[in-house]
Structure 1
Amino acid sequence: MAATTLTMKLLVDSSPPRPRVVFAEAGKDTVDFLFSLLAMPSGTAVKLLGMESMVGSIANLYASIEKLGDPYMEPGATKEAFLCPTVLSPAASPKSSLLCLPGPPSAPKSFYRCDRGGLYSSCRNYVTNDRGARCPACGSQMIYDSRYVSSGTVTQEAKGFVQGGMATYTVTDDLMIFPMSNISNMAMLNTVAVRNLSALQEKTVQIGYEEGLAIVKASLQSKTVLTDVFLRKKPNSSTPSLSNNDRSLPWGA
């Protein structure tokens, strides 16, 4: 799968004792990705993060299925259905499906008909995906290919969940998401008790595979997800690393 990278613009309060994310600005693809985490199966989360990273007992369920012997499984049941479910929700657009794991390849759609369709009009009413089945109308074997034609319609899942275009969204440190507005953002500064406006900085970050995994993990364990993922990557560093994408805001002194 080709590497996918999303972006998010953080508003960082760099005041002591340590920096924190006040809120972030994100577009459609990033928001679709964040919302699609709600549809991630638990088994996928364990597989992506590793059993040692899981809080609670869900990892024990995963290990139990791994160790379960075939004699105890129902005929036709597979461990992969639980251990390797496909992610993420189709509500995320292909560009933002950062953590998708390849599922089993889907077989091409094949349908069959009998050869009597020209003689018995009722035969035309029947097709099957079981090659060699008997036609309900004439009893002949249904072995002749019928071509499946896709409608070509773009599904709602492929469109994603939120509107794009000019719309942008505010993402809080604890992953509350709502349409961005200047009024709500100013109110947010007061809500999180920002006292020194001159300490605010913009920091543009990229969300690739590693950051996507980190967001999944932090969302299950923390109320400061963006701060944990983007400002505390390096355990030995007490301040966020600055790059050319970081700049102080023209507020305060």
Structure 2
Amino acid sequence: MENTGKELTLKLLIDKKSDKVLFGEANKDVVDFIFSLLALPLGAIAKLLKKDAMVGSIGQVYHSLGMLNETYILSKEKISSLVNPTLASTSNTKSNFLLSQSTHQDTKDRRLYVCYNPNYSSRSCRYVSEDPGVSCPNGHGLINTVAMFVPKSDVSSAVAVGSDGNGYVKGVVTYTVMDDLTVVPMSTISSITLLNKFQIKDLGSLEEKMVNIGFEEGLKLLKASLETKAVLTNVFLKKNRASNYA
């Protein structure tokens, strides 16, 4: 997997006494990336993080499936769909720069086949298949007519996602990202409330730090999100811990 060259920025508020990230200040792009982690199938996560970096046994499952000899598998296509999973275009995959463009599945490259036989044009048949040549359960013959996808109009898309275009959230506000990646809209009152929650008495102990989120940091955030509730602290502060996410 290659680095796309895209980098995001995140402003952290750090308590120097405890060497811990209290929370971060993020824009729409950062929040879209965080939410896009939910769209990743396990196969994509295992491929990104590699076997030895995975917690639990999913990495071993991924590795063993990829190592199976052709003698034991039904089809290469089915195995490929698991070890190299594609993501539907409805998942807003543009928000996640960890994935190469080849991982994204666009509707223009997708094929579905419908049951269509001129001799049975008076009868409605709703069966479809991802594989051509499958027999229609209604006895109409083979399901081998390519169906055409109709994309959403620009108007309907704008209504669905708002004026910000792609992604999951609107860019009309700044967002607070907690150490455990909890995301809420930011406000002055909420920031003061958080400082009280963390029992910060000495404002001099606080420090702002701007960090970049590129490909490597994105991988570390993904891995840390599966292992700890102190994600931002582990990735951006704790050098002894951060080395574990390389």
Give the structure with the higher percent helix: 2
Which of 13, 16, 20 is the equivalent residue of 1:14? Answer: 16
| CA displacement at 1:176 relative to structure 2 | 0.8
Task: State yes or no: 1:81 paired with 2:81.
Answer: yes
Report the identity percentage.
Answer: 41
Task: State yes or no: 1:228 paired with 2:234.
Answer: yes
Aligned to 1:160: 167
CA shift in 2, pair 1:91/1:161, >3 Å: farther
When the two chains are superposed, the root-mean-square deviation of aligned CA atoms in Å is 4.0
CA distance in 1, matches of 2:109, 2:172: 39
Query: How many aligned positions are there?
Result: 214
Asked if the contact 1:4–1:208 (Cα under 8 Å) also holds between the matched residues in 2, the reply is yes
Higher mean C-alpha deviation, range 218-227 or range 1-10: 1-10
Alignment of structure 1 residues 1-253 onto 2, 5 Å: 2-15=4-17, 18-75=18-75, 77-86=77-86, 90-92=90-92, 94=94, 96-101=95-100, 102-103=102-103, 107=109, 153=154, 154=157, 156=160, 159-162=166-169, 164-232=170-238, 234-235=239-240
Using the size of structure 2 for normalisation, the TM-score is 0.70
Structure 2 letter corresponding to 1:193: Q
CA distance in 2, matches of 1:44, 1:66: 13
CA distance in 2, matches of 1:89, 1:174: 28
What is the DSSP-based 3-state SS (H/G/I as helix, E as strand, rest coil) of the residue aligned with 1:21?
Answer: strand
| Cα-to-partner distance string for 1:220-241 (whole Å, 9 max, x where unaligned) | 1111100111112x3399xxxx
CA shift in 2, pair 1:38/1:88, >3 Å: farther
Higher Cα radius of gyration: 1
CA distance in 2, matches of 1:194, 1:57: 40
| CA displacement at 1:194 relative to structure 2 | 2.4
| CA displacement at 1:149 relative to structure 2 | 8.3
CA distance in 2, matches of 1:2, 1:19: 31
**Structure 1 spans left out of the alignment, 5+ residues:** 110-121, 123-129, 131-146, 238-253
| CA displacement at 1:87 relative to structure 2 | 5.3
Asked if the contact 1:29–1:92 (Cα under 8 Å) also holds between the matched residues in 2, the reply is no
The runs of 4+ residues in structure 1 deviating greater than 4 Å are 87-93, 104-109, 147-152, 154-158
CA distance in 1, matches of 2:218, 2:87: 13
